Chains A and B, each alone.
Chain A
C-alpha cells in the first residue's frame, strides 16, 4: 500500500493494521460486559469470603479479589496466556512498541477552515481557553513554552514544551523537554473535510511510561483512560470555541443543591 496521505486513507490503513495485529498485543483483553460482571461477582465473593473466618473464606476472598482486579483493569493473565481477547480493539488508544507507553488518537470535524483552526492552536497561550486543566501557558522563545496545569486536589504540575514541527495550516507537533512528570509528545493535523463540512482535526498524543516493566504498563493503562478522556474533552472544547465562540458549561448554574 502506498504511504497514506489523507485521514481517510490513514483510517483504512489503520483498520488494515488492526486486523493484522496479533491478538496477544492487547492489554485490555476482557470485554466491557464481562468486566462489569467480574466486578459484581468478584465483589460478592470477596465480601462473603471475608465474612467467614476460615481457610475457605480466605480462598473465596482471594478469588473474589482477583475477579474484581480483572474487572477494574480489564486485564486477565489467563486470557493473555491463552491468547483470548473478549474486548473490542479501539483505534483511539494503543500500546507503543516495546512497552514504551501508550498512544492516543482522536479526530473531530470542525465547521471552520483549516487556516482559522491552525492559527488559533498555534497561539499556545490560548490553550487554557479550551484545555480544562491547563491554568496558563507562556511562550519562552525559540519555539518553546512553559505550561502550568492544575489537577484535581489542587495539584500543580509544570513542564516545558518545544514545537518540533510546524507546517502552516497543516501540522503542529511538540514534545515535552527537560525534567517533566509525564514525558509526552503530540501532534495536531488539519485537513479539509469533504465539501461543506469544514476541517478534520486529528490529535495524536504519546505518553512514555517512566516506571519499569509490566507494572509501568499496568499503571500506564489505568492512567491511559484519563488522558484519552482529556484529549476528547479538549477537542470538544476547541470545536465549540471555534464554531460557537464559547464553550458550553453549567458550572456555576443554580440548583436545589445550592439553596438558601
Chain B
C-alpha cells in the first residue's frame, strides 16, 4: 500500500510499503477513506519530538471502512464505516475504566521509554514516535487498529467524511480544552491560537455556555474564520501587550479561563520569545512557552489555564509565582477522545455544528508532502489539509 513515511526534518515521503496485518486478536484493519494532517504532526516534521525512526508512518486523524477483524472483536464487522480515535486504549485498565482513555496503562509496548522520560507511560498513539508506542499511523491507504472493540465509532452514511473525520482528534481536543475550563454562565474564555484546534475550542466554549470568547492569532484568514464561523471576538496579537488588552476587554478582571491551543512551537516577538526560539533551535531547551506565560499572566485570579497544545519536554522561566499568587488551576493532557465520540457525533447529527468548515485543502495522499509544506508555512491560506488515499 502507499503510506506517508518520516525521514527527518522537513522530509516526508509517500512510499509503497507492505499492507498492515492483524497481529493481536483485538485488532482490526481499516481501509482509509479520509485522513488529515494535524498541527502536532508539524512538531514531528520540524524534528522536535525525539525517538522518531526513519521510515515511521505518520498520521493519527483517520477514518474509513473495516475490511478485517481479529477474533477478539465482536462489535465490528467487515463493511462498517468508522472514525478511529487517536489514542489507543485497552478499555480495561484503571484509567480506561475511569474514562481517562489517553492514560491507558497497556497500550504502549515501549512503556519503559516513556517511563524513563516522564516517570510513567500513557497510552500509545498512532504515528507519533516510539515514546508513544511507535504505532504505524493513518496517513496511508490502510491501518491496523489495535483494541478495535473499544476505540472506533460507527458513523451514519448520512454524514460525509468531511463532517465526521475530526471526531478522531481535533474536535474532541478543542472540546476537552473548553470542558476543562469549567465554564459557568457569564464566563469569558480567551483562546490563544485560531488553528483547527483553536477553532473547535472556540465553538465548544460557546456550546458549553460561555458568554464571550476572545481569540488571538497572527494569521488574518484564521482570525476571520474564528470571527465569522465561530463567533469569537478576535485580535491580532503581534506587537501587542496581550495581558493588558485582555484585562481591558474584561472590565479589569481578566478572562475566567485561558485556553492554550498553540503548544510547544509558539511564536512571539518579544525578546524572551526570541530567546526561547534560539534555545530551541540549539536544542538547549525543547519547548517554547511564550503563550503559556501570557496565559498565566492574563488569567483572572482563581481562573483556569487549559492546555490543548502539545508540550513534549521542558519549559524555562515560567511565571509560577504569578500562577501561585493568583491561585490558578491548570488542566492539560492528551485528549480522552473515546469519552467524547458519542456525545459529539450526536451534536453533529443534530446540526449544532458542522466541523467541515475548517477544511481549506483537499488533496490526494500522493501530494501529502506538499500538504505538510503549505500547512507548516501557512501558505495559500492553509488552515486544514484533508488527504484522500
B24:A249 contact, CB within 8 angstroms: yes
Q: In chain A, what residue has the closest Cβ to B143? A: A254
Q: Which residue in chain B gives the minimum CB-CB distance to A252?
A: B23
Supposing A243-B106, A250-B109 touch, asked if A255 and B135 sit within 8 A by C-beta, the answer is no
Query: In residues 340-383 of chain B, which contact A (Cβ within 8 Å)?
Result: none
| Pair B112/A239 contact, Cβ less than 8 Å | no
Report whether over half of chain A's contact residues are helix, strand or loop; otherwise say mixed.
loop
Kindly identify which residue among B25, B54, B90 contacts A257, using a CB–CB cutoff of 8 Å: B54
Q: Report whether B92 and A111 are in contact in the complex, using a CB–CB cutoff of 8 Å.
A: yes
Q: Shortest Cβ distance from A88 into chain B, in angstroms? A: 14
The stretch from A168-176, A181-189, A228-236 touching chain B is A228-236
Among A245, A248, A253, A258, which residue has the most Cβ atoms of chain B within 10 A? A248
Chain B residue nearest to A241 (CB atoms) is B106
Instruction: Tell me if A197 counts as interface (CB < 8 A to partner B).
Output: yes
Cβ-based interface call for A153 (8 A) = no
Given A239-B105, A248-B107, A256-B56, A229 and B112 touching (CB < 8 A)? yes
> For residue B147, which residues in chain A have a CB less than 8 angstroms away from its CB?
244
**Which A residues are CB-close (under 8 A) to B107?**
244, 248
**Shortest distance between the CB of B365 and any CB in chain A (Å):** 14
- With beta carbons under 8 angstroms apart, the residue of B3, B92, B111 that contacts A244 is B92
- Bound Cα distance A249, B111 (Å): 11
The reply to whether B72 and A246 contact each other, CB–CB distance below 8 Å, is yes
Cβ < 8 Å to A, chain B residues 58-98:
72, 88, 90-94, 97
* Interface flag for A214 (CB, 8 Å): no
B268 contacts A by Cβ under 8 Å: no
| Size of the chain B interface, CB-CB below 8 angstroms | 45
Which residues of B lie under 8 Å from residue A251 when comparing CB positions?
23, 109
Smallest CB gap from B6: residue in A = A256
Q: Is A163 an interface residue (CB 8 A)?
A: no
Contacts of B146 in A (CB 8 A): 248
The CA of A246 and the CA of B146, in the complex, are separated in Å by 10
* Complex CA distance for A232 and B1, rounded to whole angstroms: 36
User: Is B304 interfacial (CB-CB < 8 Å)?
Assistant: no
Q: Which residues of A contact B270 (CB under 8 A)?
A: none
Q: Is the CB of B112 within 8 A of A255?
A: no
Q: Is A260 an interface residue (CB 8 A)?
A: yes
Interface residues in B263-291 by Cβ distance below 8 A to A read none
A109: chain B residues at CB < 8 Å are 94
**A179 interfacial contact with B, CB 8 Å:** no
Contact of B3 among A239, A245, A254 (CB under 8 A): A254
- Selected contact of A256 from candidates B13, B24, B88, CB within 8 Å: B13
Which candidate, B14-22, B172-180, B243-251, B315-323, is the interface stretch facing chain A?
A: B14-22
Interface: B188 (CB within 8 A): no
Q: Is the CB of B57 within 8 A of A256?
A: yes
- Asked if A250 and B90 sit within 8 Å, CB to CB, the answer is no
Q: Once the chains bind, are B92 and A254 in contact (CB under 8 Å)?
A: no
Any chain A CB within 8 A of the CB of B134? yes
Residue of A nearest to B13 (CB): A256
- Quick one: CB contact mask for A45-88 with B, threshold 8 Å, 1 for yes? 00000000000000000000000000000000000000000000
Interface centre among A109, A111, A236, A254 (most CB of B within 10 A): A254
Of B15, B21, B93, B106, the residue contacting A252 (CB under 8 A) is: B21
Contact of B135 among A232, A244, A253, A257 (CB under 8 A): A253
* A256 pairs with B7, CB closer than 8 A: yes
In the complex, are the beta carbons of A259 and B106 less than 8 A apart? no
- The answer to whether the Cβ of B108 comes within 8 Å of any Cβ in the partner chain is yes
B21 touches A256 (CB 8 A): no
Known A253-B135, A259-B16, A260-B18; contact A246-B25, beta-carbon cutoff 8 A: yes
Tell me the B97-128 residues at the A interface (CB within 8 Å): 97, 105-109, 111-112, 124
B224 surroundings in chain A (CB, below 8 A): none
Q: Complex: how many Å from CA A243 to CA B111? A: 16
Q: How far in angstroms is the closest Cβ of chain B from A36?
A: 13
Q: Does B144 interact with chain A (Cβ within 8 Å)?
A: yes
Query: Do residues B54 and A256 form an inter-chain contact, with CB atoms below 8 A?
Result: yes
The answer to whether B136 has its CB under 8 Å from any CB of chain A is: yes
Let me know if A254 and B25 touch, CB within 8 A. Answer: no
Question: A240 near B: Cβ within 8 Å?
Answer: yes
Contact status B136-A254, CB under 8 Å:
yes
Closest to A232 in B: B112
* Binary CB contact string for chain A from 177 to 204 against chain B (1 if under 8 A, 0 otherwise): 0000000000000000000011000000
Verify if B55 is at the interface (C-beta below 8 Å from A): yes
Instruction: Among A239, A246, A255, A259, point to the contact of B24 (Cβ < 8 A).
Output: A246
Minimal Cβ-Cβ distance residue in B for A233:
B112
Q: How far is the CB of B15 from chain A (nearest CB, A)?
A: 5
Chain A residues within 8 Å of B54, by CB? 256-257
Please, could you name 25 A-B residue pairs with CB atoms under 8 Å apart, sorted by A?
A: A197-B94, A239-B93, A239-B105, A240-B105, A244-B91, A244-B107, A244-B147, A248-B107, A248-B108, A248-B124, A248-B146, A250-B134, A252-B21, A253-B23, A254-B1, A254-B136, A255-B55, A255-B56, A256-B56, A257-B53, A258-B55, A259-B16, A259-B18, A260-B17, A260-B18
A residues whose Cβ falls under 8 Å from a Cβ of B? 109, 111, 197-198, 229, 232-233, 236, 239-240, 243-260
| The 5 A-B residue pairs with the shortest CB-CB distance in the complex, in nearest-first order | A256-B55, A256-B5, A244-B90, A257-B55, A240-B106
Residues of B near any A CB (own CB < 8 A): 1, 3, 5-7, 13, 15-21, 23-26, 53-57, 72, 88, 90-94, 97, 105-109, 111-112, 124, 133-136, 144, 146-147
Q: 7 new A-B pairs (CB below 8 Å) besides A243-B93, A244-B147, A260-B18?
A: A111-B97, A239-B93, A243-B90, A248-B90, A254-B3, A255-B56, A259-B18
